Amino acid sequence: MLRHTDWGEADRLLVLFSREAGKLRAVAKGARKLRSRKAGHLEPFTRVKLLMASGRDFWIITQAETVDAYLPIREDLVRTAYAAYVIELIDRFTYEEGENRPLFQLLIDTLGRIAALPDAFPAVRYYEIRLLDLLGFRPELTNCVRCGAQIQPENQFFDADLGGVLCPRCGANVPAAHPISMPALKFLRHYQRSTFHEASRAALTPAVQREVEALLNYYLTYLLERRLNSPAFLHEVRRDFSDHL
């Protein structure tokens, strides 16, 4: 479950990411009443098993059962913040467009790793890189996105608009491009082609950690802003808006 809002007198409108139907919205009737049995199962960051009936506008939840409450995430503020970020990304990058099992699996795996591992950094970076793959925004990291030359082991540039790395010669002519160090590029490539188990064994200095985090943040922010201006997004917003009238 991704988030909820109050709905009518006593109900809740939930935004869920499901294995069978991807992102969807559902109403939990009476969930805000004190003694509601469903309410305890319907908290954000919780993995739940639901029985639903189709309603006029949304699905209606008839039964809820917790599969995993991710208690270590709830009990630790840093983990809570990481999980909130993971959920916000999937929520902002997806529409109600039907089943997407790889994305569902990535979300479940990532929340499980944040709950279980002492450091959430590898889990969250791996999530960002896989999310980019699954959404069709996999950055090009082996050849210059402008001249096509193979990237050499040296410091380069990265450009969000072109979607990948630029060799030092081309990068110098693209004012918006961000510098990227060789260790940061190696980290991204390693994460792009490895399983989580292999990827998470790579050791990183704090400086490279910060660089990788900032670079992914720059690319994801760019994509979200571009998406905010896309026709599909405007359509979604209009539908949301008219649903609430």
111 binds Zn ion (CB under 5 A): no
CA distance 22 to 16: 8
Give the residue, chosen from 52, 103, 167, 185, that forms a contact with Zn ion under the rule CB under 5 A: 167
DSSP SS3 for 12: strand
132 binds Zn ion (CB under 5 A): no
DSSP state of 135: T
Q: Which residue in 68, 76, 71 sits closest to 119, CA to CA?
A: 76
232 binds Zn ion (CB under 5 A): no
Q: Which residue in this structure is represented by tokens 């082991």?
A: 153
Region near Zn ion per CB under 5 A, out of 27-35, 147-155, 194-202, 229-237: 147-155
Q: What is the 3-state secondary structure (H, E, C) of 207-238?
A: HHHHHHHHHHHHHHHHHHHHHHCCHHHHHHHH
Q: Which two tokens stand for residue 168?
A: 């030092």
Region near Zn ion per CB under 5 A, out of 64-72, 138-146, 209-217, 224-232: 138-146
162 binds Zn ion (CB under 5 A): no
When the beta carbons of 113 and 146 are compared against Zn ion, the nearer one is: 146
Q: Which residue in 161, 171, 164 sits closest to 189, CA to CA?
A: 164
Give the residue, chosen from 48, 83, 132, 144, that forms a contact with Zn ion under the rule CB under 5 A: 144
170 binds Zn ion (CB under 5 A): yes
Q: What angle do CA 126, 147, 191 make, to 5 degrees?
A: 10
When the beta carbons of 94 and 156 are compared against Zn ion, the nearer one is: 156
146 binds Zn ion (CB under 5 A): yes
67 binds Zn ion (CB under 5 A): no
When the beta carbons of 4 and 146 are compared against Zn ion, the nearer one is: 146
Contacting positions for Zn ion (CB under 5 A): 144, 146-147, 149, 167, 170
